[in-house]
Amino acid sequence: MKILVTGGAGYIGSHTCALLIENGFSIVVADSLINSSINAINGVKKIAGKDFPFYKTDLRDEASLEKIFAAFEIDCIIHFAGLKAVGESVEKPVMYYENNLISTLNLCKCMKKYGVSKVIFSSSATVYKSDNPMPLTENASLGACNPYGWSKFMCEQILYDASVAEKDFSVVSLRYFNPVGAHPSGLIGEEPNGIPNNLMPFIAQTARGIHSEVKVFGNDYETPDGTGVRDYIHVMDLAKGHQLAIDFAQKNTGFETFNLGTGSGVSVLEMIKAFETANTLKLPYSIAPRRAGDIAISYANPEKAQKILGFKAEKTVEEMCRDTWNFQNITSKTQS
Ligand code: NAD
Ligand code: UFG
């Protein structure tokens, strides 16, 4: 089975590529490398012990994208490609809408033209309104609070409408919670450009000495220890969710959404302590003001994915911390 992986050089995409190849899928990757590098592709090839076609292509360029559809008999697409920094999306909304929407529209056009009917879409827990009761089910009310979140919301709407119009389309929208961790080999992991916005890469870089301390954004939330609570999911568990979504897309048509999370919330302070314990080190941290736009708690009700896809996140917080640090250590050695 041939899978086109857009954004396959990125964090979640590269881990999913590694898993797909390991499980016998044939892949083609298209990525503009705007937020990634060829290192990730080389890392996947090393893990897989196999070569695969890689196209440095911007999905906004319809003609270039079409060449890939013309060159391969694609059975299914996993559409990871997109810009994802919440803060940047507030500063550059037009760039975010243009990138994320045009890419998705071009993909839909190529799918129709080349008779490809299955797509797995990278959505996000940010499509849920912030005032929903926890845990979040797929029926929770939708609405975003930044352009990035709205772009995901709009892409879901585009894909839903396409699935209504094209009766053979099968769209599976996966709403990720907080992906962390790295491939156990340490050959691929999360390598954000610039200073990381997200907690886990910031923790890892602080442990490596790149930053002097972790700033804990607020300790006065209505949570057990006052710090923000999130549903962290190991990226290899997330990768597995994509393979199960491909199975589902093969047997069903229409549009379906699934939460991919563990169902458990972990606070910022708990994550710092877990990282210290798992890796026997000390992390300097201090309490800082709340970050604008953050909510106190977000975690998934993962029952629908478990019941319908057979998905269950299995890796522990300890494994998330160990694999993150393992990757960070290997990266630092190869860079020095
Ligand atoms: P990432 O930035 O590491 O990967 C995205 C990849 O898409 C990058 O390699 C980038 O170069 C590529 N890309 C962006 N625009 C492109 C374009 N126009 N044409 C071709 N390639 C393009 O991010 P990630 O964490 O791996 O996220 C993958 C997807 O999952 C994204 O769509 C993101 O919005 C979504 N998501 C991520 C998170 C998270 O916390 N990491 C949470 C929810 C949803
Ligand atoms: N945090 C800190 N210090 C930091 C970074 C984060 O205390 O340096 C805190 C935040 O305040 C929050 C928690 O750690 O309480 C997690 O923050 P992240 O930035 O790691 O993740 P978010 O939940 O804010 O958002 C992430 C992605 C979004 C995605 C969302 C849901 O950045 O793109 O998860 O999937 F949509």
Residue whose structure tokens are 């160990």: 322
Active site residue 148: yes
The confidence score (pLDDT) of residue 243 equals: 98
CA distance 79 to 70: 18
Atom 21 (ligand 2): residue with closest C-alpha? 198
Once rounded to an integer, what is the mean pLDDT over residues 195-203? 94
Please check the confidence at residue 292 and state whether its pLDDT lies above 90: no
**Backbone phi and psi for residue 216, each to the nearest 5 degrees, phi listed first:** -90, 115
CA distance 130 to 153: 14
235: tokens are 């990226």
Please check the confidence at residue 284 and state whether its pLDDT lies above 90: yes
CA distance 26 to 287: 47
Quote the percentage of the chain above a pLDDT of 70.
99
Contact 108, 158 (CB under 8 A): yes
Is the alpha carbon torsion for 315, 318, 319, 325 positive or negative? positive
The ligand 2 site (C-beta within 6 Å) comprises 84, 86, 124-126, 176-178, 197-199, 202, 214-217, 228, 230, 268, 291, 294
Q: Of 189-198, 207-216, 253-262, 274-283, where does mean pLDDT reach its minimum?
A: 189-198
Contact 272, 216 (CB under 8 A): yes
The confidence score (pLDDT) of residue 333 equals: 66
The confidence score (pLDDT) of residue 112 equals: 98
The confidence score (pLDDT) of residue 293 equals: 83
The ligand 1 site (C-beta within 6 Å) comprises 7, 9-13, 31-36, 58-60, 80-84, 99, 103, 122, 124, 176, 178-179
Once rounded to an integer, what is the mean pLDDT over residues 298-327? 98
Atom 13 (ligand 1): residue with closest C-alpha? 81
Please check the confidence at residue 217 and state whether its pLDDT lies above 90: yes
The confidence score (pLDDT) of residue 167 equals: 96
The confidence score (pLDDT) of residue 336 equals: 55
Distances (CA, A) of 153 to 159, 182, 270, 329: 10, 27, 31, 36
Query: How open is the CA angle 230-233-238, to the nearest 5 degrees?
Result: 140
Please check the confidence at residue 145 and state whether its pLDDT lies above 80: yes
By CB atoms closer than 10 A (0-12, 13-18, 19+), residue 251 is: exposed
Pocket test for ligand 2, best of 178, 271, 273, 298 (most atoms within 8 A of CB): 178
Q: How many CB atoms lie within 10 A of CB 195?
A: 10
Contact 300, 177 (CB under 8 A): yes
Please check the confidence at residue 334 and state whether its pLDDT lies above 90: no
Question: pLDDT-based confidence at 335, cuts 50/70/90?
Answer: low
Atom 35 (ligand 1): residue with closest C-alpha? 122
**What are the percentages of helix, strand and coil residues in the chain, rounded to 5?**
45, 20, 40
Annotated active-site residue in 11, 148, 232, 299: 148
* 3-class secondary-structure state, position 275: helix
The confidence score (pLDDT) of residue 191 equals: 84
Question: pLDDT-based confidence at 299, cuts 50/70/90?
Answer: very high
Distances (CA, A) of 169 to 116, 244, 249, 256, 264: 8, 17, 9, 11, 33
The confidence score (pLDDT) of residue 330 equals: 77
Counting atoms of ligand 2 from 1, which one is nearest the CA of 152?
36
Quote the percentage of the chain above a pLDDT of 90.
93
CA distance 165 to 14: 32
Once rounded to an integer, what is the mean pLDDT over residues 143-156? 96
DSSP code string of 106-148: HHHHHHHHHT--EEEEEEEGGGB-TTPPSSBPTTSPB--SSHH
CA of 79, nearest ligand number? 1
